[in-house]
Structure 1
Amino acid sequence: MGVRTATQHGAAAGAPAADRPGSVRNVVLVGHSGAGKTTLVEALARAAGAVNRAGRVEDGTTLSDHDEIEHRQHRSVQLSLVPLEWDGVKINLLDTPGYADFVGELRAGLRAADAALFVVSAAQEADGVTAATRMVWDECAAVGMPRALVITHLEAARTGFEEMTEICRQVFGRDDPDAVLPLHLPLSGDPDGGGRAPLGGLAALLTGRVYDYTGGERAESPPGPGHRALIERARGRLIEGVIAESEDDNLLDHFLGGAEIDETPLVEDVRKAVARGTFHPVLAAAPALGDGRYGPGTVELLELITRAFPGPQERPAPQATTVDGAPCPPLSCDPRGPLAAEVVKTFSDPYVGRISLVRVFSGTLRPDEAVHVSGHGLADRGHQDHDVDERTGAVSVPFGGQQRPVAQVVAGDLACVARLGRAETGDTVSAHDHPLLVRPWEMPEPLLPVAVRAHGRADEDKLSQGLARLVAEDPTMRLEQNPDTGQMVLWVLGEAHREVALERLRSRHGVRVDTEPHRVGFRETFAERAAGHGRHVKQSGGHGQFAICAIEVEPLPAGSGVEFVDRVVGGAVPRQFVPSVEKGVRAQAARGIAAGHPLVDVRVTLLDGKAHSVDSSDAAFQTAGALALRDAAAGARLHLLEPVAEVRVTVPDEYVGAVLGDLSGRRGRVLGTEQSGGGVTLVRAEVPEAEISRYAIDLRSLTHGAGRFSRAYARHEPMPRALADRVRADAGRTD
């Protein structure tokens, strides 16, 4: 029986609508930047008939024409959805950025998907799969997500398919190498032998068939003599791996007895093992050959997705509660159930406004429907908790630069919803009369600070609103008004993330900003006791100003703040003016003494003073109190206090030495190391915040993307004198 072509399987419309959960497959593509994920998505779209041979949609655009920033960056910077149809199944392909700065987009894609395709480039990763890709694999394994591997760029690499498969077995099959095996072998155009590059076709190991792509579309052909030898050598290993995962004990007995195993139970066992997440097939894929519709491996991938990957009804939905946290029954992927959807991405359209990409876990979402929007748990990043009723606008499926309207979105499917003005990434959309809250996925912590200010007067009025919209779209950003320095600080994941954020702020929200060096919040304190005298006496005719006070300042333990003590005797300072002296002292302490940093951890004692029956006033004694504190500081030794952070670094064991040495060079104190299992070590240290402003970038470089860290404020402590003098000198030049 002949093999049907892709045009018989696919749908030219390119944006199908699912009518039941079983007809949906949600697949996220994961891989290093440059591995070929976007190219693979375009090849799959071409094979499914969603785009023409030139890779264009019906309106003439391509799948990536809608994002100018990506074109300027020459890389993917955001999650994108490409829906296809194959064999009556809607496939939602979620293309994620491979660059580490956009890991938030990757995590959103993982949340929306039910299976993952790991794209591994033979040209990039011949010496080993990147640590970042390995970490994502482990995350998927922890939740039992089904995974398959696609090897790309074989036609341009020195490393062949067998070598790359062995690398993948060692990296991804550490516990069970036989769970990572190829289903096909790539063949060159030579009918009598195999080649390294998938230029001609593929040999299916389970069925023994050979698929020839040299004509531009897949056609079945008999294997040549060289093909038979290749197939038989790899087929036995694959059958052993499949039988090991099989639930049919008779298959093993038949195999050990030398009996020929029928392909039907083998194919079914592969399907079940892939859906369970216990077997991970390896495939090869190549772009289109010449002007052909699709290249080798694309049809096989579409068949794997539709036949082996699980539908959304086979995967557990995230936990949901009522909006006040009370438990509720587990969600099921039932279109007739209560509505529960999650906003996995938010973006702005210049004509439509805010658009929310949602994954529906339960129920059915329709246009112009009253819904409830709940968002909890990200208040520390500028996303305040909220529970609001809204009405959905148009519901559509994105495809290239188009938004194609649909009548409804059933449980398990993804779509875009307009007019949800309060919805942010991570929010829950539920029925207005039965509001729910889905626990949000874990967001990476933004740890690179970027201090921004309005470029001009016209930008000042729009700055706050533009930044708020930017943060609402991307929960991996955090906005902070630093109370110590007064700077507006946007916290991001890395330099590329910063560039994209500032470009989006300019192009989408019409706000131009300038960046400035990020300043940490220094403080000052007295290192010893000191006395000060404040005299504010002015006569200019009429009522004058007269206030004199004497104080003593002494240091206190860290965290004590500023204490004020009144020890005046004999009414030298009238009782009504003692609070005035205190107000002046505290105001001067807040402004700073030597370098403009707040004064803390001191006790100021008012000892003596003088007043005038006519010329003394509240304002005069405030000024005298401030002058007395400055006079005490002028003759005393002061400590400049710098903030110290508690840092926790999680890093593979091979990088521990490099990390410890780097922390020591940052004036860090290592508190200890702990084995976290799986070849990973946790390093705990205390490091001055001034030394780790760029640590998010430096750690990534030091550990080749494998290191992660968190930081938390610990305390302020004295800075070394030489460094403190330099900071004070810089502050003087700035002033």
Structure 2
Amino acid sequence: MGDKAHTHPGAAGRARAADHPAAVRNVVLVGPSGSGKTTLVEALALTAGAVNRAGRVEDGGTVSDYDDIEHRQQRSVQLSLVPVEWDGIKINLLDTPGYADFVGELRAGLRAADAALFVVSASDGVDGSTRMVWDECAAVGMPRAIVVTHLEAARADFTEMTRVCARAFGGDDPDAVLPLYLPLHGPEGPDGHAPVTGLIGLLTQKLFDYSSGEREEHEPDPDRLPLIEEARNRLIEGIIAESEDETLMERYLGGEQCDVETLVGDLEKAVARGAFFPVLAAAPAAEGARQGLGTVELLGLVTAGFPSPPEHDAPRVTTVDGAPRELGPCDPGAPLVAEVVKTSSDPYVGRLSLVRLFSGTLRADQTVHVSGHGLADRGHEDHDVDERIGALSTPFGKQQRPVSHVIAGDLACVAKLGRAETGDTLSAKDDPLLVEPWEMPDPLLPLAIQAHSKPDEDKLSQGLARLVAEDPTMRLEHNQDTHQVVLWCLGEAHADVALERLRSRYGVQVDVVAHRVPLRETFAGRASGRGRHVKQSGGHGQFAICEIDVEPLPGGSGIEFVDRVVGGAVPRQFIPSVEKGVRTQAAKGVAAGHPLIDVRVTLRDGKAHSVDSSDAAFQTAGALALREAAADARINLLEPVAEVSVLVGDDYVGPVMSDLSGRRGRVLGTEQSAGGRTLVRAEVPEIEIGRYSVDLRALSHGTARFSRRYVRHEPMPAQVAERVREEALSA
């Protein structure tokens, strides 16, 4: 798979536009922060000849040209595309952020890719978040391979790391996760550490020496072969177990020797269909060297073992009205179907949309139909519009290399799509279609903001609209109860990036304020009130008197108004006026400024004047009566309660349930889930879970997820209500 001679294409052919979908490989790199994904991309680009030894492309920039926000965050926060070419195949390397707050960028990379490289550090192992992404890939049958990095670490042990990966990723079949090569170590240094200088292929039994900075192939010393025999036999058995030739295992067990070509062919097929997951080792090139250790082998795996776009199932497609539409094979001559997987702003080009083509051919200055549905709750309006696209380009670092067209299976950047947002579909204007959106995590960390100054207030709306257009994992809320503008984010780092983008990209300075949950008020018992509105100031005066009784109702009842007036004490035409005044005052609140709910208001008596009574006077009297009733009654503050569902590893169930109880939560029950996880359901006051996404991540070491839904408002404990009232008064 990676044991034959290779040449890199040189400057003239680097990352050229693909001529056919079969000549494309779309590969996403997955792994936690610090695992070495970006360093690996740089090493692969160097080996493929896409950058020089200084890590620079010919027309300026580097693979790892981060934007200013990434420099300040000291971590990758967005998906980046690095195209390289190897053996006549264009490889689109999709480098994803490893931090959990930017999982939306990771999911975009998974959507754009046909296979995944899981990058794990030999010094850190496999974390829970990476295992969860592996399970997601397994659920859709995405082909995967594992790359072990940081072999230079003092305690790095490749053999032990392959065992860790087999336990973490192998599930019921750990023999499906096996190394293709074993590292060769050089002489021990003064610190007792022996550096990795080469690899030995388990199938070919060839030695690949990288110690000179160039990959050199040798026949190994005979005394080395017994050291790899056990690993080689296990690999052969693992490949044969996944072979489509059902007679191969029987022949092998009967003593027949399998030729290397047959094994390599079966291995490539098993990898391509997601049945076998090879483990490889890789390291960046030493200073002055042209090839990093294991990069040639890895590029060989990608080109020979990973599927091309025509071999990968396309997402489901419908018409804009929802009727199913069969999407044909990945054909450049078929009708256009593409999806925006990332939206960004370039200071020189403007809005750039990274698109993955599933069908057809996209050309510069072409008119396309843009469809977007299903994210209205996150601030993304549904739309169906025709737009003329601008230039097409292939990104490399901060550089954009112009291309005339993009074919099915490939990725490229499209300029000047003013209405298109991440997740939208581009299709032929005479046959508009809609690609089923991929699942996005629900943002559960609220960030309440307000404009810093009047000029910022004027720009805030447009800045927020552009911000959420780029990031579908962010939800924009204009809360009608608290009158706050709230950005719902995935975590603190996500929130920090949002604020920085508002400031640096869109010129909007905002202040973060305390997030308020929408509280309610209700009467704790029966009460009565009299509203008297009598004024005389020359000419027509104002005269209205009404008397009401108020009683609490069960939760969810709202405001019920009852007319019990007899004898015409309040003329019939003014009864609706009293009700309007009561409801208006209820919406404003009667104690702490929160809407009043779940009460019955009974109008039982009143007085009117033949000349001075009016609609406005009785509205005022109704409001006064409700306020007077509240002044003599005990008013309960009601807080929203959410049903929280937490999916967590069995090891963390106890701490999670204890934590929920400490938040005044009531655990409703637990259910066993697949993969050694448990679903914990509880009802928790929303005021207690404002930062739960951050706290749960720390509590479960990033392995838990939760969802929430509002269920009802219920009375707040007296001591908590008193604290809330004091905070409201001091605000």
Give the structure-2-normalised TM-score.
Answer: 0.96
Aligned-residue CA RMSD (Å): 1.8
Alignment match, 2:717: 720
Match of 2:440 among 440, 443, 460: 443
Aligned-pair distance for 1:570? 2.7
Alignment match, 1:22: 22
Q: Distance in 2 between matches of 1:123 and 1:228?
A: 27
Is the 8 Å Cα contact of residues 560 and 602 (structure 1) preserved in structure 2?
yes
Q: Secondary structure at the match of 1:154?
A: coil
Alignment match, 2:294: 297
Match of 2:460 among 460, 463, 482: 463
Aligned-pair distance for 1:632? 0.5
Matched, 1:91 2:91: yes
Residue range with higher mean Cα deviation, 406-415 or 255-264: 255-264
Q: Which aligned pairs between 1:500-649 and structure 2 lie closer than 5 A?
A: 500-649=497-646
Residue range with higher mean Cα deviation, 360-369 or 548-557: 548-557
Q: Distance in 2 between matches of 1:483 and 1:46?
A: 54
Q: Distance in 2 between matches of 1:475 and 1:3?
A: 42
Q: Distance in 2 between matches of 1:648 and 1:372?
A: 39
Residue range with higher mean Cα deviation, 723-732 or 599-608: 723-732
Aligned-pair distance for 1:330? 3.0
Structure 2 counterpart of 1:573, which letter? Answer: V
Q: Distance in 1 between matches of 2:439 and 2:549?
A: 52
Aligned-pair distance for 1:11? 4.8
Matched, 1:201 2:198: yes
Is the 8 Å Cα contact of residues 551 and 629 (structure 1) preserved in structure 2?
yes
Specify whether residues 299 and 542 from structure 1 end up closer, same or farther in structure 2 by C-alpha distance, changes over 3 A only.
same
Q: Distance in 2 between matches of 1:137 and 1:12?
A: 37
Q: Secondary structure at the match of 1:156?
A: coil
Alignment match, 1:485: 482
Matched, 1:171 2:168: yes
Aligned-pair distance for 1:17? 0.6
Structure 1 counterpart of 2:255, which letter? Answer: G
Is the 8 Å Cα contact of residues 351 and 416 (structure 2) preserved in structure 1?
yes
Q: Secondary structure at the match of 1:155?
A: coil
Aligned-pair distance for 1:114? 0.5
Q: Distance in 2 between matches of 1:182 and 1:448?
A: 41
Q: Which aligned pairs between 1:407-446 and structure 2 lie closer than 5 A?
A: 407-446=404-443
Alignment match, 1:391: 388
Q: Which aligned pairs between 1:698-717 and structure 2 lie closer than 5 A?
A: 698-717=695-714
Q: Which aligned pairs between 1:151-230 and structure 2 lie closer than 5 A?
A: 151-190=148-187, 199-225=196-222, 227-230=224-227
Q: Distance in 2 between matches of 1:674 and 1:659?
A: 14
Is the 8 Å Cα contact of residues 12 and 51 (structure 1) preserved in structure 2?
no
Alignment match, 1:72: 72
Q: Secondary structure at the match of 1:170?
A: helix
Q: Deviations over 1:268-289 (max 9, x none)?
A: 1111110011111100001111
Q: Distance in 1 between matches of 2:227 and 2:71?
A: 42
Unmatched runs of 5 consecutive residues or more in structure 1: none
Aligned residue pairs, count: 727
Residue range with higher mean Cα deviation, 370-379 or 218-227: 218-227
Aligned-pair distance for 1:9? 4.6
Q: Distance in 1 between matches of 2:223 and 2:636?
A: 80
Q: Deviations over 1:463-488 (max 9, x none)?
A: 11111111111110111111111111
Q: Which aligned pairs between 1:81-160 and structure 2 lie closer than 5 A?
A: 81-125=81-125, 129-160=126-157
Is the 8 Å Cα contact of residues 368 and 394 (structure 1) preserved in structure 2?
yes
Is the 8 Å Cα contact of residues 97 and 105 (structure 1) preserved in structure 2?
yes
Q: Distance in 2 between matches of 1:651 and 1:341?
A: 36
Specify whether residues 93 and 256 from structure 1 end up closer, same or farther in structure 2 by C-alpha distance, changes over 3 A only.
same
Alignment match, 1:267: 264
Q: Secondary structure at the match of 1:17?
A: coil
Q: Distance in 1 between matches of 2:91 and 2:179?
A: 23
Q: Deviations over 1:16-66 (max 9, x none)?
A: 210100100000000011100000000100111111101111233112225
Q: Distance in 2 between matches of 1:11 and 1:679?
A: 50
Q: Distance in 2 between matches of 1:257 and 1:326?
A: 55
Q: Distance in 2 between matches of 1:327 and 1:543?
A: 68
Q: Distance in 1 between matches of 2:66 and 2:101?
A: 21
Matched, 1:58 2:33: no
Is the 8 Å Cα contact of residues 180 and 280 (structure 1) preserved in structure 2?
yes
Q: Distance in 2 between matches of 1:575 and 1:244?
A: 87
Aligned-pair distance for 1:109? 0.6
Is the 8 Å Cα contact of residues 321 and 437 (structure 1) preserved in structure 2?
yes
Is the 8 Å Cα contact of residues 185 and 194 (structure 2) preserved in structure 1?
yes
Specify whether residues 11 and 144 from structure 1 end up closer, same or farther in structure 2 by C-alpha distance, changes over 3 A only.
farther
Aligned-pair distance for 1:668? 0.9
Q: Distance in 1 between matches of 2:566 and 2:246?
A: 97
Structure 2 counterpart of 1:527, which letter? Answer: A
Structure 2 counterpart of 1:69, which letter? Answer: I
Q: Distance in 2 between matches of 1:257 and 1:104?
A: 51
Give the structure-1-normalised TM-score.
Answer: 0.96
Q: Secondary structure at the match of 1:491?
A: strand
Aligned-pair distance for 1:294? 2.4
Specify whether residues 197 and 492 from structure 1 end up closer, same or farther in structure 2 by C-alpha distance, changes over 3 A only.
farther
Unmatched runs of 5 consecutive residues or more in structure 2: none
Q: Distance in 2 between matches of 1:196 and 1:238?
A: 28
Alignment match, 1:697: 694
Aligned-pair distance for 1:551? 1.1
Is the 8 Å Cα contact of residues 467 and 505 (structure 1) preserved in structure 2?
yes
Q: Deviations over 1:513-564 (max 9, x none)?
A: 1111110000001111101112223344454433322111111121221122
Match of 2:358 among 361, 372, 383: 361
Alignment match, 2:371: 374
Q: Secondary structure at the match of 1:722?
A: helix
Specify whether residues 540 and 6 from structure 1 end up closer, same or farther in structure 2 by C-alpha distance, changes over 3 A only.
farther
Is the 8 Å Cα contact of residues 8 and 85 (structure 2) preserved in structure 1?
no
Q: Distance in 1 between matches of 2:194 and 2:133?
A: 27
Structure 2 counterpart of 1:74, which letter? Answer: Q
Is the 8 Å Cα contact of residues 11 and 85 (structure 1) preserved in structure 2?
no
Is the 8 Å Cα contact of residues 425 and 435 (structure 2) preserved in structure 1?
yes
Is the 8 Å Cα contact of residues 6 and 48 (structure 1) preserved in structure 2?
no
Residue range with higher mean Cα deviation, 401-410 or 40-49: 401-410
Residue range with higher mean Cα deviation, 37-46 or 556-565: 556-565
Aligned-pair distance for 1:226? 5.0
Q: Distance in 1 between matches of 2:498 and 2:233?
A: 52
Aligned-pair distance for 1:10? 5.4
Q: Secondary structure at the match of 2:446?
A: strand
Aligned-pair distance for 1:585? 1.3
Q: Deviations over 1:659-696 (max 9, x none)?
A: 11111111111111111222111111111100111111
Aligned-pair distance for 1:587? 1.4
Is the 8 Å Cα contact of residues 12 and 48 (structure 1) preserved in structure 2?
no
Aligned-pair distance for 1:622? 2.2
Is the 8 Å Cα contact of residues 97 and 106 (structure 2) preserved in structure 1?
yes
Structure 2 counterpart of 1:70, which letter? Answer: E
Q: Distance in 2 between matches of 1:124 and 1:289?
A: 22
Q: Secondary structure at the match of 2:393?
A: strand
Residue range with higher mean Cα deviation, 390-399 or 570-579: 570-579
Aligned-pair distance for 1:616? 3.3
Is the 8 Å Cα contact of residues 161 and 196 (structure 1) preserved in structure 2?
no
Alignment match, 1:36: 36
Is the 8 Å Cα contact of residues 122 and 151 (structure 2) preserved in structure 1?
yes
Specify whether residues 565 and 253 from structure 1 end up closer, same or farther in structure 2 by C-alpha distance, changes over 3 A only.
closer
Specify whether residues 364 and 198 from structure 1 end up closer, same or farther in structure 2 by C-alpha distance, changes over 3 A only.
farther
Structure 1 counterpart of 2:75, which letter? Answer: R
Aligned-pair distance for 1:196? 7.8
Q: Secondary structure at the match of 1:240?
A: helix
Q: Secondary structure at the match of 1:433?
A: coil
Is the 8 Å Cα contact of residues 450 and 510 (structure 2) preserved in structure 1?
yes
Structure 2 counterpart of 1:36, which letter? Answer: G
